[in-house]
Structure 1
Amino acid sequence: MNAIIKLEMKKNLQDRGLLFWTLILPIVFTVLFISVFTSGAGGTESRQVILSIVPGYTIMFVFFIMISMTESFIKDKHIGMVARIASTPLSPYLYLLGKWMPYMYIVLTQIVILLLFGKLVYDIPLEQPVHLLILSVLLTFMATGIGLALAVIVKTNNMGIALTQVVALGGALLGGLWMPVDMMPDILQMISRLLPHYWAHQAFQDAMAGALQVPELSQTSLILSGFGLVGFISALLRYPKFLRQAKG
C-alpha cells in the first residue's frame, strides 16, 4: 500500500493541472466574486459577503479533486495496472486506501492554503482553529470519499468531469454556497439540508466567527463522515465490477 501512496503522490505533484484546479482557480474565483459582490456595499455588508464566499468557495472547489481521482483510476484500468495489482496479495481495501490517501493529503493542504489566503488578504477571523481543523479533516474525508466512489463507477474521463461539475456546482447552488439559504425558496431550503455542502458551509462560518458549539460540531461531523463512509463502502462494493472491466 505504501508503494501505491508514494506513486500516486509523485504523479500528482507532477500534475500542473491539479495545481490549477485546487489553488489557482479557487483563488481567482474568490477574488473576482468578492470584488463584484462587495462593490458599492457598506462595510458590514462587505464583511458578510467575504465571510460567506471564502468558506463557500473553499468547500465548492474541494470537490474538483474528483476529476483527478477519476482520471487516475481510469488510467490504471486501461494500462493494466489494476489487473496486475489484483494478482498480488494486496486486498481491494488496501488498494483503494492507497489510492485514496494521497488525495486526502492534497485536499487538506488545499483547504488550509485557501483559508490562510482568506486570512492574509481579507483578514477573515479564525476564532476556533481546532474546530476548523476538525471540519477541514472531515470535509476532506467526505469529498474524497465521494470521489473514490465516483472513480470506480465512471467509465470515461468526460463522464467523471461532468459528474464532478454536477456535484460541485449543483451542490454549491443548492447548498447555499452562492447565496444565503434564507433567500432561497422553501423547497430549495429543504433540499439544501440534505446536502453536505450546506452543513459544511454553516459550520465553517460559525467556527470562523467563534460561534460553533459542540452539539453543532458533532452533528456536522456525523453528516460529513457519513457521506465519506458511504462513498468508501460504495467504492468497495463497486470494485469487483471495476476489476472485471480492467485491461489484462
Structure 2
Amino acid sequence: MNAIMIVELKKHLQDKGLAFWMLILPILFTVLFISVFTTGDNEVVNQEIIQSIVPGYIVMFVFFIMISMVQVFIKDRNRGMTARLASTPLKSYYYLLGKWLPFTFIVIIQIVVLFLFGKVVYDVSLGQPIILLILSLFITFTVTAIGLAMALTVNTENMGIALTQIIALGGAMLSGLWMPLEMMPDFMQTIAHFLPQYWAHQSFQDAMAGTTQVPELLQTLVVLFAIGAAAFIIAIIRYPYFLKRAVK
C-alpha cells in the first residue's frame, strides 16, 4: 500500500493540470469575485464579504479533486492495472487506500495554501486555527470519500466530470457560497442544510471570526463524517462491480 501511495502522490504533485484546478483557478476566482463585490468604500462591509468569499471558494474548489480521482481509477481499470493488482496477494482495501490517501494529502495542501493566500493578500482573520484544521480534515474526508464512491461507480470519465460539475457548482449555489444564504428562497435554504458545503462554509466562517460554539462545531463534524462514511461504504460496495469491468 505504501508503495502505491508514494508513487501516486509523486505523480499527482507533478501534474500541472491538477495544480491548475486545485490552486491557480480558485485563486483567480477568489481575486475576481472579491474585486467585483468589494468596489464600495465601506471597509467593514468589504472585509465581511472577503471573509465569506475566501472560505466559500475554498469549499467549492476542493470538490474538483473528484475529477482527478475519477480519471485515475478509470485509467487504471481500462489499462489493466486494476486487474493485475487484483490478481496479486495485495488486499483490495490496500489498493483503495493507496489510491485514496494521496488525494487527501493534496486537498489538505490545497486548503492550507488557499487560506494562507487569503491571509497574506486580504488579511482574512484566522481566529481559531486549530478548529480550522479540524474542519479541513473532516471536509477533506467527506470530499475524497464522495470522489472515491463516484470513481468506482461511473462508467466513463466524462460522466464523472459532469457529476463533479453538478456536485461542486450546484452545491456551491445551493449552499450560499456564491451569495448570502439569507438572500435565497426559503426552499433553497432548506436544501442547503442537507449539503456538506453549507456546513463546512458556515463553520469555516465561525472559526475564522473566532466565534465557534462547541455544539455547532460538533454538529458540523458529525454531518461531514456521516456523509463521508456513507460515501465510503458505497465505494466498498461498488468495488467488486468495478473489478468486473476491469480490462484484463
TM-score (norm: length of structure 2): 0.98
User: Larger deviation: 98-107 or 150-159?
Assistant: 150-159
On the 8 A contact 1:139/1:224 being kept in 2, the answer is yes
2:102 is the counterpart of 1:102: yes
Deviations 1:50-105 (A, max 9, x none): 01100000000000000110000000001111101111122222211111000000
Deviation at 1:14, TM superposition (A): 2.2
Deviation at 1:215, TM superposition (A): 1.1
Superposition pairs for residues 43-192 of structure 1, below 5 Å?
A: 43-192=43-192
Deviation at 1:10, TM superposition (A): 2.1
Work out the CA distance in 1 between the residues paired with 2:118 and 2:138.
Answer: 20
The residue aligned with 1:194 is 194
The runs of at least 4 aligned residues of structure 1 exceeding 6 Å deviation read: none
On the 8 A contact 1:92/1:236 being kept in 2, the answer is no
Gaps of 5+ in 2: none
Work out the CA distance in 2 between the residues paired with 1:144 and 1:156.
Answer: 18
Deviation at 1:48, TM superposition (A): 1.2
Deviations 1:84-137 (A, max 9, x none): 111112222221111100000000000000000000001001110110000011
The residue aligned with 1:16 is 16
Work out the CA distance in 2 between the residues paired with 1:92 and 1:198.
Answer: 33
User: Larger deviation: 211-220 or 198-207?
Assistant: 211-220
Work out the CA distance in 1 between the residues paired with 2:49 and 2:33.
Answer: 9
Call closer, same or farther: CA 1:38–1:163 in 2, change over 3 Å.
Answer: same
User: Larger deviation: 34-43 or 108-117?
Assistant: 34-43
On the 8 A contact 1:108/1:137 being kept in 2, the answer is yes
Work out the CA distance in 1 between the residues paired with 2:64 and 2:28.
Answer: 15
Gaps of 5+ in 1: none
The residue aligned with 2:34 is 34
Work out the CA distance in 2 between the residues paired with 1:96 and 1:121.
Answer: 38
Deviation at 1:42, TM superposition (A): 1.5
Q: Secondary structure at the match of 1:153?
A: coil
Identity of aligned residues (%): 63
Deviation at 1:41, TM superposition (A): 5.0
Q: Secondary structure at the match of 2:44?
A: helix
Q: How many residues align?
A: 248
Work out the CA distance in 2 between the residues paired with 1:36 and 1:114.
Answer: 19
2:237 is the counterpart of 1:244: no
Which amino acid in structure 2 is aligned with residue 70 of structure 1?
V
Work out the CA distance in 2 between the residues paired with 1:111 and 1:170.
Answer: 20
Deviations 1:204-225 (A, max 9, x none): 0000000011111111111111
Q: Secondary structure at the match of 2:152?
A: helix
Deviation at 1:36, TM superposition (A): 0.2
Deviations 1:151-183 (A, max 9, x none): 111111111111110010000000110111111
Which amino acid in structure 1 is aligned with residue 110 of structure 2?
Q
In angstroms, what is the RMSD of aligned CA positions?
0.8
TM-score (norm: length of structure 1): 0.98
